[in-house]
């Protein structure tokens, strides 16, 4: 029983360790040549690493918008990559691709015809010729969005609080007025009742005499 457990653990870890050396799903691999072209691949379908012995990678003619950070790092034998014919988004996410294409000197034969599809103002531009300012202009940092959202939330909460305070104030005023009226009518009715009783008493007295 213990042996079986140990064996399955070893097997599991063995498989896990080998994960990066297997051919990525939906690509064809042949002696270090990983061909993932013309497969309608999106960026989320890319593996986190290619097999360590990879010499050539074809990623052209897919639906890639972003090259995952580090995807083509740690491949000492890599000498050629194709990346054209994708939907590269030239915002913050393009920085790794841009760094890869402009890295000098590079031992890898890198394609020159990698161009942006979005944002519209950078559409058709070559990724390697983008300036850092151009790229950073289209960065949407999540913590900026978070700060904005929390500011809006804070404002809404304060507004609600002010409205609630106003409502409480209005109700208190109304309650005060109502209770004052109630007190007054009570005094009036009792005064009226007393005077009625007094009149009746007088009338009774007079009828007796």
Which positions touch ligand NAG (CB under 6 A)? 35, 37-38, 58, 82, 84, 111, 113
Helix residue ranges, H only, 66-141: 95-102, 132-136
Report, in Å, the least distance between residue 50 CB and ligand NAG: 15
What would the DSSP string read from start to end of 19-55? GGGSPPTT-EEETTEEE--SS---GGGS-S---TT--
Q: Nearest Cα to 73, choosing from 38, 102, 48, 91?
A: 48
Residue with Cβ nearer ligand NAG (31 or 207) = 31
Question: What is the distance between the alpha carbons of residues 129 and 176, in angstroms, rounded to a whole number?
Answer: 74
Report, in Å, the least distance between residue 34 CB and ligand NAG: 10
Residue with Cβ nearer ligand NAG (37 or 65) = 37
Q: Pairing state of beta strands 33-35 and 28-30?
A: antiparallel
Report, in Å, the least distance between residue 62 CB and ligand NAG: 11
Residue with Cβ nearer ligand NAG (68 or 111) = 111
Helix residue ranges, H only, 84-141: 95-102, 132-136
Report, in Å, the least distance between residue 118 CB and ligand NAG: 17
Residue with Cβ nearer ligand NAG (53 or 92) = 53
């Amino acid at each position: 029983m213990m042996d079986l457990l140990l064996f399955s653990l070893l097997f599991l870890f063995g498989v896990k360790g080998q994960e990066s050396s297997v051919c990525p799903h939906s690509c064809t691999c042949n002696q270090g040549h990983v061909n993932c072209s013309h497969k309608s691949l999106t960026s989320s379908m890319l593996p986190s690493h290619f097999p360590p012995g990879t010499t050539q990678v074809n990623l052209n003619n897919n639906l890639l918008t972003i090259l995952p950070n580090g995807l083509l790092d740690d491949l000492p034998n890599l000498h050629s990559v194709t990346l054209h014919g994708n939907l590269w988004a030239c915002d913050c996410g393009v920085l790794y691709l841009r760094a890869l294409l402009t890295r000098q000197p590079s031992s890898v034969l890198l394609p020159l015809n990698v161009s942006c599809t979005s944002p519209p103002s950078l559409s058709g531009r070559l990724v390697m010729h983008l300036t850092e300012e151009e790229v950073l202009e289209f960065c949407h940092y999540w913590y900026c969005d978070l700060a904005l959202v929390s500011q809006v939330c804070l404002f809404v909460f304060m507004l609600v609080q002010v409205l609630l305070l106003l409502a409480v104030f209005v109700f208190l005023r109304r309650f005060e007025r109502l209770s004052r009226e109630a007190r007054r009518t009570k005094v009036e009715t009792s005064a009226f009742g007393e005077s009625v009783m007094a009149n009746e008493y007088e009338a009774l007295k007079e009828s007796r005499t």
